Chains A and B, each alone.
Chain A
């Protein structure tokens, strides 16, 4: 089955840039979506189709996808960005049509 690998944690100072990677075999050929989950809350879609933002998501959130790595970038990080982030792809060739990454905890120092 298709596997998505994320770093367990990323730490960043306020105002700096956080980059969260999502590795998968030839992931650049798939559409990647990103979800933010704050403690005790449901996930929220922050980026879809590699780099598009839903309405209401700040421009500070951006995404890219090429080769074997997709990246979620959070610019000018704020304390409120502290959360778990998950990447997701659709893989109908496996028995897990929706595949989530392992998740990354972003800590704002």
Chain B
């Protein structure tokens, strides 16, 4: 069974750091891009960032709201993706989901896109003094 399990959430003070982990099972982790998506209480979904598979360079992209503060990495040998969150703000309070991402292609020839086909159950991060 394909599964993603997030861990590492909790209560943290503003300005501090936290690292989330996403442990994958049931598929070849290294073949897929992975994303982090968050949802503040009572709000919609917000993409945080993602990391491409090594086949596509293993590079990362981030939302403007977290760029420079959050870092995504991956350990394909352990099937784990990480979200390192530094300089946390109260507005980072949310449920954080890990996702497996699929790459699609269309026309024109160089057009590609990603979407999320598997989601973890999420881990809650609360930033408060």
Contact B64 A96 (CB under 8 A): yes
Bound-state CA distance A20–B50 (Å) is 27
Q: A97 and B44 in contact (CB under 8 A), knowing A42-B120, A90-B113?
A: no
Partner of B64, one of A42, A45, A95, A100: A95
- Whether B35 sits at the interface, judged by CB under 8 Å, is yes
Shortest CB distance B2–A (Å) = 11
Report chain A residues within 8 Å CB of B97: 42-43
Task: Count chain A residues whose beta carbon lies closer than 8 angstroms to a beta carbon of B.
Answer: 27
Within 8 A of B (CB), among A19-41: 30-31, 33, 35, 37, 41
- Residue pair B63, A95 in contact (C-beta under 8 Å): yes
With an 8 A cutoff between CB atoms, is B115 at the interface? yes
Most chain B beta-carbon neighbours within 10 Å: one of A43, A44, A84: A43
Residues of B within 8 A of A42 (CB): 97, 119-122
With A49-B104, A90-B114 as known contacts, state yes or no: A100 contacts B121, CB within 8 Å: no
What residue in chain A is nearest B105 (Cβ atoms)?
A: A31
A/B pair count, beta carbons within 8 Å: 68
- Judge whether A48 and B122 touch: CB under 8 Å: no
* Complex contacts, A96 vs chain B, CB 8 Å: 47, 63-64
Residues of A within 8 A of B (CB): 30-31, 33, 35, 37, 41-45, 48-49, 54, 84, 86, 88-90, 95-103
The 10 A-B pairs at the shortest CB distance, nearest first, are namely A90-B113, A98-B47, A33-B115, A42-B119, A103-B44, A100-B45, A95-B64, A97-B61, A31-B113, A45-B117
- 20 more A-B residue pairs beyond the given contacts A49-B104, A84-B44, A98-B37, with a C-beta to C-beta distance below 8 A: A31-B104, A33-B115, A35-B116, A37-B45, A42-B120, A43-B97, A45-B118, A48-B115, A54-B117, A88-B115, A88-B116, A96-B63, A96-B64, A97-B47, A97-B61, A97-B114, A98-B114, A98-B116, A100-B45, A100-B46
